[in-house]
Amino acid sequence: MFLLLFFASTAKAQPGRTFDIRKYGGKADGRTDISMALTNAFKDACASPTPSKVLIPKGKFTLGQVSLKGPCKAAVEVQVQGTLVSKTDKVIPHSSWVAFQYIDQFTLSGGGMFEGQGPKAWGACGLNSYCKHLPINLRFDFITNGMVRDVTSKDSKQFHVNVLGCKNLTFLHFTISAPDHSINTDGIHIGRSSGINILESNIATGDDCVSIGDGSEQILISKVTCGPGHGISVGSLGKYQNEAPVIGVTVRNCTISGTSNGVRIKTWPASYPGTVSNMHFEDIIMNNVSNPVLIDQVYCPWNECNAKLPSRVKISNVTIKNIRGTSASPVAVKLACSSGIPCQGVEIADIDLTYTGKEAPKAVSECSNIRPRIFGKQNPPACGSPTTSN
């Protein structure tokens, strides 16, 4: 229903005046930095009392780090038809390459590409957390009623997309492209946002295709292809104090291929309190995926925590239905819940995952601190007997 209303509203608010960056000095010569041209074009579009459009035409443009901020007087569309290439000198740490902030009725479109030039930075990753300080390709802060469609983010230096404080923001026909060795290049990270839709999109990267942080509510991921990468993840959660609940995440009709995880919920042991509820993973194809289905409440990479103390993040009301395909690891379904607050209201139905490796004769399930409700086909056999109640 939201998408129908959104498309209807955008149809009524077609941009009137166009602000072409070439009229502001922008040149597609591969040398001229168009940061000032884009910033000035956006300021004029933002000040327009009627819907407007900023145009970046076809061609290759060099762009430094920019922040395009509202609020704007009317709907604004930024149409990127060409390729924007990130500058690699004078990079501001802990920042973003292109940021869109505080805009209502915003659209990013055009069929163009944001080329982050990540390979020039990844080589130094792993040294003193260097990668965590690199800029994110695209940042969306406090966008309401927004649409990102038909654009590509390629080879970001760090995360491709960060979504913070947004409401009713949809990604449609969005492409993320990076090799599996690109470090810390999450596809789309969502935090403290609601009504976020990722639809009919392709994500290939070196970290989570989609990662969902605290305070995320009503998130829909549908018809997304993911791989390579680390899969689609809720969390990790519980590491910091006063994290907001994660409520209402649906992942359905997706295909995940060649990733280190499929769908997972991860929380830290010895954590601060938190809640995760109403998670739905349905109708998903796994192609040679390690850990296709994973709840991990003892998530402790690099031994940064006390794994002997239980997680205090409560996970409840989870459905895992119609997951089929192949597992690259013997444990195709692993539900490792907290010994302090066991998972509640977990339902597993119609699982058909075949192990393709040689480490074990067949796929298995592993469970701890959980009593799931089991329905339908269970390959591998579920942790429990088929039942219709807890």
Catalytic site residues? 230
Q: Dihedral of the CA atoms 347, 353, 359, 364 (nearest 10)? A: 30
Which residues make beta-bridge pairs with 175? 152, 202
Which residues make beta-bridge pairs with 226? 203, 256
Q: Give the tokens for residue 70.
A: 């509202």
Task: Please say whether the beta carbons of 70 and 105 come within 8 A.
Answer: no
Task: Please say whether the beta carbons of 287 and 325 come within 8 A.
Answer: yes
What are the DSSP calls for 144-163, one per residue?
A: EEEEEES-EEES-SS-SEEE
Residue that has been written with the tokens 């004078």 in this structure: 90
Q: Which of 71, 175, 159, 170 lies closest to 118 in space, CA to CA?
A: 159
**3-state percent breakdown (helix, strand, coil) of the chain, nearest 5:** 10, 45, 45
Task: Please say whether the beta carbons of 375 and 347 come within 8 A.
Answer: yes
End-to-end CA distance of the chain: 34
How far is the C-alpha of 201 from the C-alpha of 180, rounded, in Å? 18
Contacts of 8 (CB under 8 A, 6+ apart): none
Give the three-class secondary structure for 242.
coil
Helix (H) or strand (E) holding 277: strand 274-289
Q: Give the tokens for residue 279.
A: 């998670």
How far is the C-alpha of 299 from the C-alpha of 281, rounded, in Å? 20
How far is the C-alpha of 117 from the C-alpha of 119, rounded, in Å? 6
Residue type, 225: T
